[in-house]
Every structure is written in C-alpha cells, then in structure tokens.
Amino acid sequence: MLLRGQNSSARYLLRRSQSLSRQSSHALTRLYHVTAAERAGQKECDIVIVGGGPAGLAFASALTANKALHGSVEVTLVEGGDLSKVHDWDMPPHAFSNRVVSLTNASLDFLDQIDAWQYVDAARTCPVEDMQVWDGISGSRIDFNAVSLGVGRGPGSTQMARLTETLNLQRGLLRHLSQQPNVTLLDNTKVENIFNDDIPGGGWPMVQLSTGGVLRARLLVGADGINSPVRTYSKIDTYGWDYPTRAIVATLLHPPRTFSPNTTAYQRFLPTGPIAFLPLSPTSSSLVWSTTPALATVLTKADPAILASMINAAFRLPELSVRYLHTRLLEHPSLSPDDLRAEIAFREQAHAIAPYSAHASANVNPDDVNVGIPDQGIDAVPPLVARIQPGTIASFPLRYRHAEAYIGTRTALIGDAAHIVHPLAGQGLNLGLGDAASLARCVGNAVMHGSDIGSHTTLAPYARERYFENHKMMSAVDKLHKLYASTAPPVVSARSIGLEVLNELEALKAGIVGAAGGESNPRSSPSSLWGTVTSGVETLVDGARFAKVVGSGLKSIAGGVLQQVARAAGTGPGEDRRG
Amino acid sequence: MPRPFLSDALPRNVRCAHSIIANLRAFANPNRYSSALHTAPPPPLPQNGTAHPHPHPRISTVNDEEIAHFSRLSKLWWDERGEFTLLHKMNPHRMRFIREKVLEVLREDDRNDDAVALRMRDSNRLLNGLDVLDVGCGGGILSESLARLGANTLAIDASAENIHIASQHAAADPGLSSLSFRHTSAETLLQEESKKRFDIVCSMEVVEHVNNPAAFLRSCAELVKPGGHLFLSTIARTPLSYLLTIVAAEKVFRLVEPGTHTFSKFINPDELIGFFTKPLNEGGRPWISRTYAYGLPTRVEAEVRGIVYVPWRGDWVLAPRATTPLSTQANYLFWIRRPKENV
C-alpha cells in the first residue's frame, strides 16, 4: 500500500464524515471541534514523520509493530524524494552500493522485534566476527574476536555486528511498511512550511505540503537530517563543528581469502583520519577513509587504480611513507598508476618489506595472492584490493552536530536531525535506530494510559533516555578522532600503551564486548560495544585509564546508581530547551 | 463538637497505629490532626427530585475560596512545565492504576473468560463504552485520558474558568469526541431527574479541597452504578506529607502555588477505609465488608496504593501493591467498588 500524493483523500473524507456524524450528538459541547474540522484542505494526523531515511522508516515500523497503537494511531510519513526508487532498488548479487552501515546486535534485535529484519535481503549482509584496530604511528593493535570473546546473537552466532548497505536496510523497512495499515507514505512531497494552528487551546504544528494539503499533527517527528525543518520550526539550536576531513567511500573488489572468511573489519588510525575496511561478501568490501579534503579531492578524481594502490599502501606501509605518498600525490595529482606503484615499491624496499610479505602490495598481483601458503601476518591486514567497483567512489564532509534538545512543543527529533557523529565507530545509524525504538516505546506507553502522544509529559522520557546516552557516545567518538589525529610522541605512547594494556586484558575485553552481546536490553544503548571501547579511550585521555580497569569490576554494583545519576543529569539539556 | 463518627468503626489495631501517628503529629497545632472527615457533620439528606436552577445547590461541598484559588490558576492548567507539572507527571500513573483495577475486576467477574481480560490487557480502548464521571476535573488532565481510552466521559468542575479552559483545550483535539464538560457539582448531578449513574467515578486530588468531605464522598459514591468503581486520590495527614506537600513543594521549591493545600483537610487512608466500612445510607450495605492486617480491605473491595514523587527521576512512582503502609504516608490513590445489587 504505497500511497502517493493525494490517493488517500477519499479515505480521509470518509473518515472525516464519520467523525462529523459522531460529533453531532455532542454538538453542544463540541462547538469548537466542529469549526476546526471544517477548515478546508486540512487533515488531522496523529503522527507526522518528516523524512524517509532509515531513522524515519524505522520509527514508523516500530510504531506499526506496537499492538497498543493498532487502530488508534495513524502515521503519515512525508518524504521529498521518490521512495519507489528505494522500494524497487535492485543490484546484481556481486555489486554493492557504496553507503554501508554497521548494525550492532542491539540494533538487529530491535529490527527483529519490529518484524522488519525479515524484509532485509540477508544475502546482502555480512557478519563482523573480528575487528582489528591499530594505531597508525606506533602500530599498537587491539583485536576483538567474537569467537574468543564469546559474543553473538544467541547460540551458534559469533557476530559483533552486521554490515549491510544502507539501501538494503531502507528497502527492507519500506517493504515492511508497505504491508502495514495505518501508515500513509507521502513521497515526492516536500514540506514547504510548518506553522502553528490558531485554534484556542491548540497551537499544534501544521505542515504545509508541496502537493497543496496541510497536515495538522498531534506529534511531529523530525527525521529530516542535518538541516531539519522540524528542528527549525521547534526553535532548537544545534552545536557542533565541521571536521577538517572528508570521508571517501567506495566498494572494493578483492580475491577471496583462502584460510579465513572475509568477516574481519579493519581500521587503521592515521593522523589524517581513520581508514576502515568493512567486509560485505567474500570478494567485496566497503571503504570509509576519512582524510584531508585536498587528498579526498585528488583521490576521488584520480584513476581508480591510484585509489586502489593508495588503499593497499595505507593499510600496510609505515606512517612515514603513507604521509610521503600523500604529499607526493598532492604535488602531482596527475601521477600515473604505474609511477605510484613504483614509488610504493621503493618505499617497501626502504622499509625492508619482503616482496611476498603480507605488507607488500606494489608488485603483488592480487590474483596470485592465494597461490601457496600465505604469509603469517596475512590476517593483520585486509585483503589486497584488486579493483574498485566502477561508479562507487564518492566523498562527503564529516561533521559533529548535536541538537540542544530532542523535543519541542509537539515535536521530537530523531536520527541525523538530532545528532551527527564521525563515522569512525559506525555508530550514527545505530544511534538513530535507538532513538526510533525509544520514541516508539514512549508513544506506546502514552497510548496505553490515554495520554496525549504529543504532550511534553509523553515525550520527556524520550529525551531523558536518549540525550545523555547519545551524548556520551558522540563525545567519545569525537575524542577518539582527536586523540588519534595527534602525532605528539607522549600522546602516541600513552594511547599505544593504553590500547595494548586493553588488548591483553581478555576478561575486560570480553566484558566490553559482552555488554554489546546477544542479550538485548531495550533501555541500553544499541551501541554498547563501541560505547565501552570509546569510553575506555576517553578515560585514557583523562589520564585515568587504570580507574577504568578497577571501575569495570565495580560496574555491576555501581552501574545502576551511576546510570540513574547520569540519566538525571541528562534530563537537563535533553528536554529543557524549547522555543 | 460533633461525635467523631468514624473512629469507632476502626478495628483496634488501626486505632492503635492511628494513635501512635497521632502522637507523632503532636508537633502540629491540634486542629491540624483532627480528621476533616471526623469533624464533618452528617449532611442533611438531599430533597428528592428538586432540580436546582443554580449550579450549586444550597447543600454544597464546594469551597468558594478553593474555587477562587483554582480559577486564578486556570490559565496555567496546560502549561506542562509550569504550575501543574507534578499533576501532569502524575497522570499516567493514575491512569495505570485505573487500568489495573478495571482489568482486575474484569478478571474477577469473568473468572471463566480469561480471553476477554487478556484481550483487554493490550487494548488501547479499555474503557470503551463505559460511562465515566470525573468530578473536579480542573483543566481536564485526567478527563482527556479517560476519553482517549474510549470512555463516554463527563467532566465536571465547580469553577467556570476551569471548565472554560478544559473545554477549550479538549476542543483543539480531534480525538476527544466522547468527552464533554459541565460547570456543576456532584450534588447537583445527583439531584438531576435523569438519575444518570456511572460505571466509573473519579475524583482525583479533590477531596482535600472540599467542604464537608464526608458529604462529598457520599455524593460521589451515590453516582456510581452498582458494581462500578470509585477512584480517589488525595494526601495523607502525616508529618511526612506536611513536609513534602506544604513545606517542600509550596514553600521551599515553589513547585506548587502556596496555599494550594490545607494540611488539616488531608485525609488518611484508614479514615477513607473506615468511612466505607460503615453503611453510607441508613439500612444500606457497607462497601467494605471486612478488613485485615493494618486495617486493609480485601483487594476486590477496595485498595490503597501510595504514589511517591522521586525528584532525581523527575517522575512519580506508583508503589507496588505489597509495600508497607509507609508508602501511603503522603500522596496515595484509593479505589473502591460499589457492591453489586442482589448479591
């Protein structure tokens, strides 16, 4: 039931006439009501969601999954783009779109609970069973292995997260939604203006559509991205900054690995920004490389072979040589792939990297990699990139933004409209899904108790639950980025020691990963794994890294208390600001 | 001084506990701890069938000062972060209590038909088709919630300003067609010729604001259909409640307008229970037939549940059923069921 434009007007008129006849029996007392309903071109809506991205769609899905809302809450989703393109999106099995998301186990549990996951094409998803993260300068490394740490979603599963294309997730959510009654999807419809109604005792948001209608919303949810019109209407400010980096994305093609499956995610922290290799299938993976805007421009415009060589080198060569290659390429943007290869070969020789070592890339034919017994350290680096899937190279700016509040008068912000975070931990979308789950839960509770779902009392728990939780994660990821951007020797050695100490403490690591494991706690963040890792790093920054080790022992005791305090502290910024 | 007509009905252990608490209360001036219910003389019986043209009949429990107080504040009812924040935050918990009791009675009545109760448990229209009366609706915070659960709700208040604000607010909401407001009192409603009675009568945070609470309770009770529910919420008259509702909320933190509460008008749970263990009318049957430990009634006849504001959570907590009477030392909810006829 993908309704476009005004197809629903007949249904609406029917409903309206029914409600008018109901009102006539209360004509005396419902005087104002009838006048309000007589307004032309205006439709009364329970929930209007602006934005058909993953957060908006997931929120709509979560609402339909809640039995308490059946028959009482009508959802209208407004999207400026053409949702049928997403609904009918298709790609050959071995080609992948360049925007990829990492879904934590908690996010997967949420998608399962709302019955949306079954609509996502499972063949286009890939589990992450191992994660290798290392310091670009010192080489200090931390290895999270789902098998040895014993995490997963239920018995037999050994995944820490699951990677898939954003479009695959979005299509799944959309297919799920199109099965649901009570949901009206208005795509190709832009929001022209949002204003208050002038009914005495009202003041509800009125959403003026580009197709001519006006929606009067009991609750208006902004899932409308960084320049959220709903946020502007709610007079909520954001704070944040633009990182001096851009992220390059691309789909990488490589030969399969002989001894291990391609289920390891790699991330190397270079001073210019982290470069990440995210597995999608045995022969395809996704790149997210945040680096200087100048280099991003050169790399996205150059021959794809240059980007492939640079990716291979960036995961393998010492930082000194990676930096040299960057400078070389910036000075000579028209460098030919062969010249670059020769340059890399020379650097490898200088660093005494044997031609058949796992760290050699310049003169290795990717197709011959699997001949013979691979080098011992082969699992420490991602597979050699042979080619880049044509048309998948792109780049986008990186930002940090956090709305000063998540709720306004009858409005709530979710996803990117509320927060934008550096992608290095792959948490942006998971935070958005966490918002959707939390807000849908608040609405569900409100309906069971007959509360007005747009009221501040209903929405306040959402802000209380999410604001501080998201803020913790966002600032940890931000600090992680800044910590690894430094090349100052004391900082490098401190962070390297911290990482190595962490790596040796299997019990602590298991604890960290276990927190994000199979059991799904709806109240906790869907991103506990990275949350705990990054807050570990954050603690390091504060020079109190050992407190973390001790603290985790006490966590089970103090956790509850601290959480309460934190939640109370989170109340302030989350809900207090309003226009 | 009229004879306290409630204390004698209390079981001995309650009276004992009562006297201990009374001693504790010696700090307050004497008239602070005599029950408002005790001192009230039994009201004269209303004249049958005389509908009064005036909104409040001569026999009225409406307190003019209180009405003036709330009329002054009426514009603030729907500012969810102003004067009535605490009330807004309390509302979902009151509704939860109502939900729980209605479902419990449903299961109790239809022992053989759990399916009905199970279906209703997940229902967002639990009160569908029921006639519900909200006495002292104020801005209509509770009334709107009742109507959203499907009840044919009549909300009344003795303040015309309140009724104005409440109906204006409800009119802006298209989902409240089953809600209507009237500027009247429970006594007037009782005397109307239509003799309309209700499945559920609610009077939340009202009984501590009326003159002659005994007469008020009797009127509310009279409006309940046999087998129907009466929900009340009020504040117990204890040192703790004095500290919380008057010292802290009104004087120190100014969460509530000073003068909103009068300590001497607060009513203790045991006084309410005692009130209903006696027949309401001559020759009638008491609503509570027996009480157990701590003077508590059986859960199918009446129930008292504490509700506590937890400042660091910024929310109320409805005390679990099996908590000690300590949780009812300040705000509490009270439910009682009118006995079915011919049982």
- Give the Cβ contact number of residue A24 at 10 Å: 10
Q: Nearest 5 degrees, angle CA B231-CA B236-CA B239? A: 165
How confident is the model at residue A188, as a pLDDT? 95
pLDDT digits (tens, 9 = 90+) for A158-173: 888 899 999 999 999 9
Per the structure, the count of domains in chain B is 1
Residue from A448, A576, A578 whose CB has the most chain B CBs within 10 Å, to mutate? A448
Q: Do the interacting molecules here have an ipTM over 0.95?
A: no
Burial of B7 by CB count in 10 Å (0-12 exposed, 13-18 middle, 19+ buried)? middle
How confident is the model at residue B251, as a pLDDT? 85
Helix (H) or strand (E) run with residue A526 in it: none
> CB neighbours of A577 closer than 8 A, spacing ≥ 6?
A236, A237, A404, A405
Between CA B157 and CA A149 the distance in angstroms is 63
Token pair for B62: 């409406």
Among A39, A201, A204, residue whose Cα is nearest residue B168: A201
Q: Nearest 5 degrees, angle CA A141-CA A142-CA A146? A: 145
> CB neighbours of B230 closer than 8 A, spacing ≥ 6?
B200, B201, B202, B203, B220, B221, B224, B335, B336, B337, B338
Q: How confident is the model at residue A382 (pLDDT cuts 50, 70, 90)?
A: very high
How confident is the model at residue B343, as a pLDDT? 52
Among A26, A566, A419, residue whose Cα is nearest residue B178: A26
Residues A206/A197, Cβ–Cβ less than 8 Å:
yes
Token pair for A8: 């629903």
The DSSP code sequence of A246-309 is: EEEEEEEE-PPPSSS-S-EEEEEEETTEEEEEEEEETTEEEEEEEE-HHHHHHHHHS-HHHHHH
Compute φ and ψ for A127, nearest 5 degrees.
Answer: -75, 150
Token pair for B60: 């009225």
Q: What is the residue type of A218? A: R
Please give the interface size between A and B, counted as residue pairs whose CB atoms are below 8 Å apart. Answer: 105
Between CA A2 and CA B124 the distance in angstroms is 27
Asked if A200 and B92 come within 8 Å (Cβ–Cβ), the reply is: no
Asked if A451 and B148 come within 8 Å (Cβ–Cβ), the reply is: yes
Helix (H, G, I), strand (E, B), or coil: what is residue B188?
helix
Model confidence at A182: pLDDT above 90: no
The DSSP code sequence of B43-65 is: PPPPPTT---SSSS-SS----HH
pLDDT digits (tens, 9 = 90+) for A307-362: 999 999 999 999 999 999 999 999 998 899 999 999 999 999 999 988 888 888 88
**Within-domain flag for B226:** yes
List, by residue range, all CATH 3.50.50.60 domains of chain A: 39-90+166-237+404-575
Chain A residues close to B124, C-beta within 8 Å:
68-72, 447-448
Residue from A407, A456, A457 whose CB has the most chain B CBs within 10 Å, to mutate? A457
**Within-domain flag for B161:** yes
The domain A39-90+166-237+404-575 is placed in CATH, from the list 3.30.360.10, 3.50.50.60, 3.10.129.10, 3.90.1170.50, at: 3.50.50.60
pLDDT digits (tens, 9 = 90+) for A485-541: 888 888 888 888 888 887 777 666 665 554 443 333 333 343 445 555 554 554 444
Asked if B172 and A29 come within 8 Å (Cβ–Cβ), the reply is: no
Question: Which CATH superfamily, name and number, covers A100-104+112-163+243-396?
Answer: D-Amino Acid Oxidase, subunit A, domain 2 (3.30.9.10)
Model confidence at A25: pLDDT above 80: no
**Within-domain flag for B267:** yes
How confident is the model at residue A567, as a pLDDT? 47
**How far, in Å, are A202, A381, B78, B163, B185 from residue B169 at the CA level?**
7, 64, 8, 10, 21
pLDDT digits (tens, 9 = 90+) for A132-159: 989 988 888 888 888 777 777 777 778 8
Compute φ and ψ for A188, nearest 5 degrees.
Answer: 55, 30
Give chain B's contact residues with A (Cβ, < 8 Å). Answer: 78, 80-81, 88-89, 91-92, 95-96, 99, 122, 124-125, 144-149, 165, 167-181, 312-315
Range of the domain at B139: 7-38+59-337
**Within-domain flag for B53:** no
**Within-domain flag for B50:** no
DSSP label at residue B246? I
Given the structure tokens 């709509």, which residue do they identify?
Answer: A60
Name the residue of chain B whose CA is nearest to A577's CA: B81
How confident is the model at residue A541, as a pLDDT? 46
Helix (H, G, I), strand (E, B), or coil: what is residue B260?
coil
Q: Is A30 on the interface with B (CB under 8 A)?
A: yes
Compute φ and ψ for A218, nearest 5 degrees.
Answer: -70, -40
Between CA A97 and CA A199 the distance in angstroms is 48
How confident is the model at residue A139, as a pLDDT? 87
Model confidence at A402: pLDDT above 70: yes
- The distance in angstroms from the start CA to the end CA of chain A is 37
Extended strands (E) in B185-311: 198-204, 224-235, 302-310
Q: Which residues of A421-459 are buried (b: 16+ CB within 10 A; e: fewer)?
A: bbbbbbbbbbbbbbbbbbbbbbbbbbbbbbbbbbbbbbb
Work out the percent of chain A whose per-residue pLDDT is above 70: 80
How much is the average pLDDT of A31-35?
40
The answer to which of A26-40, A453-467, B237-251, B289-303 has the lowest mean pLDDT is: A26-40
Between CA A446 and CA A47 the distance in angstroms is 13
- Give the Cβ contact number of residue A479 at 10 Å: 17
How much is the average pLDDT of A365-393?
84
Name the residue of chain B whose CA is nearest to A465's CA: B313
Point out the residue among A29, A68, A565 whose CB comes nearest to the CB of B122.
Answer: A68
How confident is the model at residue B93, as a pLDDT? 96
How confident is the model at residue A252, as a pLDDT? 96
How confident is the model at residue A483, as a pLDDT? 87
Model confidence at A54: pLDDT above 70: yes
Asked if B91 and A451 come within 8 Å (Cβ–Cβ), the reply is: yes
How confident is the model at residue A395, as a pLDDT? 95
Q: State how far residue A187 is from chain B, nearest Cα, in angstroms.
A: 25
Report the side by side order of strands in the sheet with A161-165: A100-104, A161-165, A125-128
Model confidence at A296: pLDDT above 80: yes
The answer to which of A218-232, B57-71, B247-261 has the lowest mean pLDDT is: B57-71
Between CA B331 and CA B256 the distance in angstroms is 14
Residue from A16, A17, A20, A29 whose CB has the most chain B CBs within 10 Å, to mutate? A29
pLDDT digits (tens, 9 = 90+) for A405-453: 999 999 999 999 999 999 888 888 999 999 999 999 999 999 999 999 9
**Within-domain flag for B264:** yes
Among A57, A77, A48, residue whose Cα is nearest residue A433: A57
**Within-domain flag for B164:** yes
Name the residue of chain B whose CA is nearest to A456's CA: B80
Among A62, A115, A107, A128, residue whose Cα is nearest residue A528: A107
**How far, in Å, are A140, A259, A317, A358 from residue A376 at the CA level?**
18, 11, 17, 8
Name the residue of chain A whose CA is nearest to B88's CA: A457
- Average pLDDT over chain A, rounded to an integer: 82
Residues A467/A569, Cβ–Cβ less than 8 Å:
no
- Average pLDDT over chain B, rounded to an integer: 81
Burial of B96 by CB count in 10 Å (0-12 exposed, 13-18 middle, 19+ buried)? middle
Between CA A563 and CA A547 the distance in angstroms is 18
Question: Is B110 marked as a binding-site residue?
Answer: no
Residues B343/B230, Cβ–Cβ less than 8 Å:
no
Token pair for B208: 């501590």
pLDDT digits (tens, 9 = 90+) for A79-115: 999 999 999 999 998 899 999 999 988 899 999 999 9
Q: Is A451 on the interface with B (CB under 8 A)?
A: yes
Token pair for A263: 């289920």
Compute φ and ψ for A544, nearest 5 degrees.
Answer: -130, 45
Token pair for B242: 């004095």
DSSP label at residue B291? B
Point out the residue among B95, B149, B171 whose CB comes nearest to the CB of A30.
Answer: B171
**Within-domain flag for B49:** no
Nearest 10 degrees: CA dihedral of B60, B66, B67, B70? Answer: -150
Q: Is A564 on the interface with B (CB under 8 A)?
A: yes
Question: Is B120 marked as a binding-site residue?
Answer: no
pLDDT digits (tens, 9 = 90+) for B17-49: 443 344 434 434 434 445 666 544 444 444 444
- Give the Cβ contact number of residue B158 at 10 Å: 28
Q: How confident is the model at residue A40 (pLDDT cuts 50, 70, 90)?
A: low
User: Which CATH number belongs to the domain containing residue B140 in this structure?
Assistant: 3.40.50.150
**H-helix segments, A388-505:** 428-448, 456-485, 489-504
Among B104, B109, B108, residue whose Cα is nearest residue B121: B104
How confident is the model at residue B340, as a pLDDT? 87
Between CA B138 and CA A297 the distance in angstroms is 64
Among A276, A316, A320, residue whose Cα is nearest residue A426: A276
Given the structure tokens 């990275």, which residue do they identify?
Answer: A530
Model confidence at A553: pLDDT above 80: no
The answer to which of A360-369, A480-489, B244-253 has the lowest mean pLDDT is: A360-369
Higher pLDDT, A257 or A338: A338
Token pair for A247: 């992220």
Phi-psi region of B212 (alpha: psi -120 to 50; beta: other; left: phi over 0): left
